[in-house]
Amino acid sequence: MARPVPEMEKIVSLCKRRGFVFPGSEIYGGFGNTWDYGPLGSLLKNNVKSAWIKTVVQERDDMVLIDAAILMHPQVWRASGHLESFTDPLVDCKVCRQRFRADQIEGTVCPSCGGELTEARQFNLMFKTFVGPVEEEAAVAYLRPETAQGIFVNFKNVQTTSRKKLPFGIAQVGKAFRNEITPGNFTFRTREFEQMEIEYFVKPGTDEELHSNWVRDRLAWYERYGMSMGRLKLREHARDELAHYAKAVVDVEYEFPFGWSELEGIANRTDFDLRQHQAVSGEDLTYFDDVSNERYLPYVIEPSAGADRATLAFLIDAYDEEQDKNEVRVVMRFHRDLAPIKIAFLPLSKKPDLVNLTKRAQGLVRSRWMTMYDDTQSIGRRYRRQDEIGTPYCVTIDFQSLEDNAVTIRDRDSMAQVRVPVDDLSHWFTEAFGQ
Ligand code: ATP
């Protein structure tokens, strides 16, 4: 049966309570909707990024990974069109001075206090900074508002050194910055975030088919890592919604507690970016196709996902509550590859013999899977804690373990328990995790 979409407050509170996500700079009262990933959140987000790299790079022959600099030559943003048109229409309330994105509010008055609004004006979302010791115009640089441009400017270097033939793609995971007017909904929209982007270079004419293939593959990725298909849908952009360079865009949307919203956009960007960079930099960015004996600028398919947004969606999707005797059991049903902790080791008591055996058992597997040791409070409470952070397996060491050198493994989802000899643990988990 499909699980109900949890309320956002439950997710935010669990994230804080268990160490997934904290408000940024909290001891100073927070700072403009910034969020910090705690011990579990950073493991979770890393697992999301690794799962993405595994699927789009490791398991394909036509993809490579790069890691470009955040600070780029200012001309990049002139060529890409960001300097001129990476703007949102902004309105201010003349009474309470709050700012809104004009395209996100209904009506003509302030949604907060009912006050009069100013005329809309265009607001550039790029963060400006200064490179070098002198704050002069010549040294102005921008924090990249997307990772994509780092890929375009490296197209030639990557293509010639990796000797890839079309179609092939370049993937990148990294921070991007946008001075969003209305950040919000927890980590859904922030000013500093991480993107997982692909630019897939194709021969013009093959672009439509390869675009559809990427839409199919990206949707399948979310499903592979356990996201409920009933909470995912595709939305094709209408013609009047398309940016001037895009031939087609399909968004993957997720049913967040605050409504259906974009998780990822998959665009057919034609040869717009390479053409622009070629014109502004003066470098020849064409590709020589030795099959058809032609030289041309490739078209580009861009699947562009957010690491924070995907992590948030996986958190929301994993959340489950079920009645267990007289209490409600909260379980984060993360896919095993995404779960921050894979195995928790729980000695029944703090007696030195039990602790030693527990540490020995943990030592047998910790180099392969992220583990946690916990000997505080009752075993029932410890199980609940592990359920709430989505740990697939708990290993309990009891007094009988000292006699028979075997331990109990408890499954997070079914709560079923099996007895396994300590020396078989590594083999047992290899089977359980399928690797
Ligand atoms: P929106 O219309 O919601 O502002 P967008 O269409 O401009 O988003 P893209 O430029 O397509 O977003 O960015 C690609 C992906 O990067 C998005 O699908 C999202 O996952 C992520 N992303 C974009 N902006 C933010 C942000 N401010 N905070 C978190 N993630 C973001």
- Per-domain boundaries in the chain: 8-86+125-315, 341-433
Overall average pLDDT of the 194-217 stretch: 98
Q: Are 316 and 332 in contact (CB under 8 A)?
A: no
Q: Is the CB of 176 under 6 A from ligand 1?
A: no
Q: Is the CB of 306 under 6 A from ligand 1?
A: yes
pLDDT at 279 over 90: yes
Mean pLDDT over each residue of the chain, to the nearest integer? 96
The class that CATH gives domain 341-433 is: alpha beta
Counting ligand 1 atoms within 8 A of each CB, the residue from 181, 215, 304 with the most, and so the one to mutate, is: 304
Neighbours of 273 (CB within 10 A): 24
Q: Is the CB of 145 under 6 A from ligand 1?
A: no
101-110, 119-128, 182-191, 377-386, range with the lowest pLDDT: 101-110
Supply the pLDDT for residue 1: 61
Supply the pLDDT for residue 207: 98
Q: Is the CB of 392 under 6 A from ligand 1?
A: no
Per-residue pLDDT tens digits for 406-429: 999 999 999 999 999 999 999 999
- Per this entry, what is the length of the chain? 435
Q: Is the CB of 308 under 6 A from ligand 1?
A: yes
Residue whose CA is at the smallest distance from ligand 1 atom 8: 262
Overall average pLDDT of the 389-400 stretch: 98
Gap between the Cα atoms of 109 and 178, Å rounded = 26
pLDDT at 137 over 80: no
Cα 60 to averaged position of ligand 1 atoms, centre (Å): 26
Q: Are 41 and 19 in contact (CB under 8 A)?
A: yes
As a whole number of Å, the CA-based R_g of the chain is 25
Supply the pLDDT for residue 282: 97
CATH 3.30.930.10 is held by the domain 8-86+125-315: yes
Q: How confident is the model at residue 250 (pLDDT cuts 50, 70, 90)?
A: very high
* Nearest CA-CA partner of 347 in 304, 296, 309, 396: 396
* Torsion sign across C-alpha atoms 314, 317, 322, 328: positive
Per-residue pLDDT tens digits for 17-74: 999 999 999 999 999 899 999 999 999 999 999 999 999 999 999 999 999 999 999 9
| 161 contacts: CB under 8 Å, gap ≥ 6 | none
Backbone angles phi, psi at 280, to 5 degrees: -80, -40
Its pTM stands at 0.95
Backbone angles phi, psi at 153, to 5 degrees: -70, -15
pLDDT at 435 over 80: no
Gap between the Cα atoms of 407 and 397, Å rounded = 5
Residue 227, amino acid: M
Counting ligand 1 atoms within 8 A of each CB, the residue from 199, 222, 309, 314 with the most, and so the one to mutate, is: 309
